[in-house]
Each structure stands twice: as structure tokens, then as C-alpha cells.
């Protein structure tokens, strides 16, 4: 259980932060940037949820995803080095990726096929979901870069989760846009 009774500790004043293992890393470290960007993704979903209350199906999915993103941050903050930790670290599981896929399929069945790219917008919920999608893609790029370093173990399910999540956010943005009817479509060359 997490107990936060004191928010500032001053331990980061030197420009470092602690991983789940206790190891200290610079705040600009790629691992820290990775889980920080996952946290940023989560914050954008909080903004999106301000506009999805009237859509309980999507709002419930986003609530589960926000919880998953904290699990993902914990996973990334605690690399599996093989060293004993004294506790079982949280890891993203294949079942969480599978659930995202099922939710994508559930929402996508209500949408007509696209004939053009979609511009972010249409409704506030859709715009925030698109913002979340782009931040999620940045998190994915950082995590993939981290995973490319043999000295930085990354749970492969974490990479898969981020990849599926950006797909989910795209489909959800269309679904909240009146199931695609209110999508704003890209018209190539329109403003030349």
C-alpha cells in the first residue's frame, strides 16, 4: 500500500529521483522520461474524462486505463534486474493488452471505415483523446528507445500496451465524435 503523508522530501533537489529499486537516477534519465511521459498521458485522459461523463461506456474504459497507466509507470520505474527487491513489483500483463484490444474492437464495430485521415477535434472529448493519443505515442517512442538498450530491461508487455493504447485512443476519439459522424476529415491540399 502507498502512504503519502509528506509530499516534499527534498531528495530530488539534487536533480535525481529514485527508481522502485531505490537506485537514484538523474531526472533527465531516459527511464524517468519514459514513465514521466506515461504519467503525462494519464493526465490527458483525466482531461478527456471531464467530457466523457455522458458516455459511460467510454468513461469506464478510460477509468480502467488510467489505473493501468499507474501500473505501467510502476513497471517502468522498477526495472527487472534480477536483484531481490523485497516485494513483488507491478508488471503490465498480456491480459491488460488483450482487454484493450477487445475494447478497441467493441468501439470500432460502430464506426464506418475511414476514407481520409482524421484531424484532431470535433468535440472536446475527441480533441482531448487525440491529445492523449499523441502523448501516448511519445511515451511509446521513449519506452522503445529505452528497451533498445541492453542494460535497461523493459517488460515487452509495456511496449505492447502503449502501442494498443494509442490505437484505442484513436478509435475512442472517433466513437465519442458521434460514432465518427462528427469527425473532422483531412482534405489534402485544401488550403493551398
- For 102-159, how does the pLDDT look when each residue is reduced to its tens digit (9 = 90+)? 999 999 999 999 889 999 999 999 999 999 999 999 999 999 999 999 999 999 999 9
Task: Tell me, yes or no, whether 185 lies in a domain.
Answer: no
Judged against a pLDDT cut of 80, whether residue 14 lies above it is answered with yes
Mean per-residue pLDDT of the chain? 94
CA triple 135-40-170, angle to 5 deg: 35
The predicted-structure confidence for 99-111, as pLDDT tens digits, reads as follows 999 999 999 999 9
Q: What is the number of domains present in the chain?
A: 1
Report yes or no: 159 and 147 within 8 Å, Cβ to Cβ: yes
Cα(98)–Cα(161) distance, rounded to whole angstroms? 9
Dihedral over Cα of 160, 137, 53, 108: its sign = negative
Task: Tell me, yes or no, whether 127 lies in a domain.
Answer: yes
CATH of the domain at 48: 1.20.1200.10
Judged against a pLDDT cut of 80, whether residue 2 lies above it is answered with no
* pLDDT value of residue 26: 87
Boundaries of domain holding 103: 26-78+88-180
Amino acid at each position: 500500500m502507498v502512504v503519502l503523508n509528506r509530499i516534499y522530501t527534498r531528495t530530488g533537489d539534487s536533480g535525481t529521483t529514485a527508481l522502485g529499486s531505490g537506485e537514484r537516477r538523474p531526472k533527465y534519465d531516459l527511464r524517468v522520461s519514459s514513465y514521466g511521459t506515461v504519467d503525462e498521458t494519464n493526465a490527458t485522459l483525466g482531461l478527456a474524462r471531464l467530457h466523457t461523463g455522458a458516455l459511460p461506456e467510454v468513461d469506464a474504459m478510460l477509468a480502467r486505463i488510467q489505473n493501468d497507466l499507474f501500473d505501467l509507470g510502476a513497471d517502468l520505474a522498477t526495472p527487472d534486474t534480477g536483484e531481490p527487491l523485497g516485494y513483488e513489483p507491478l508488471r503490465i500483463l498480456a491480459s491488460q493488452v488483450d482487454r484493450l484490444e477487445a475494447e478497441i474492437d467493441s468501439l470500432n464495430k460502430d464506426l464506418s471505415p475511414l476514407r481520409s485521415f482524421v484531424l484532431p477535434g470535433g468535440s472536446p472529448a475527441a480533441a482531448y483523446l487525440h491529445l492523449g493519443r499523441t502523448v501516448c505515442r511519445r511515451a511509446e517512442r521513449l519506452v522503445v528507445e529505452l528497451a533498445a538498450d541492453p542494460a535497461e530491461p523493459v517488460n515487452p508487455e509495456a511496449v505492447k500496451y502503449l502501442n494498443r493504447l494509442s490505437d484505442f485512443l484513436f478509435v475512442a476519439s472517433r466513437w465519442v465524435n458521434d460514432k465518427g459522424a462528427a469527425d473532422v476529415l483531412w482534405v489534402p491540399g485544401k488550403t493551398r
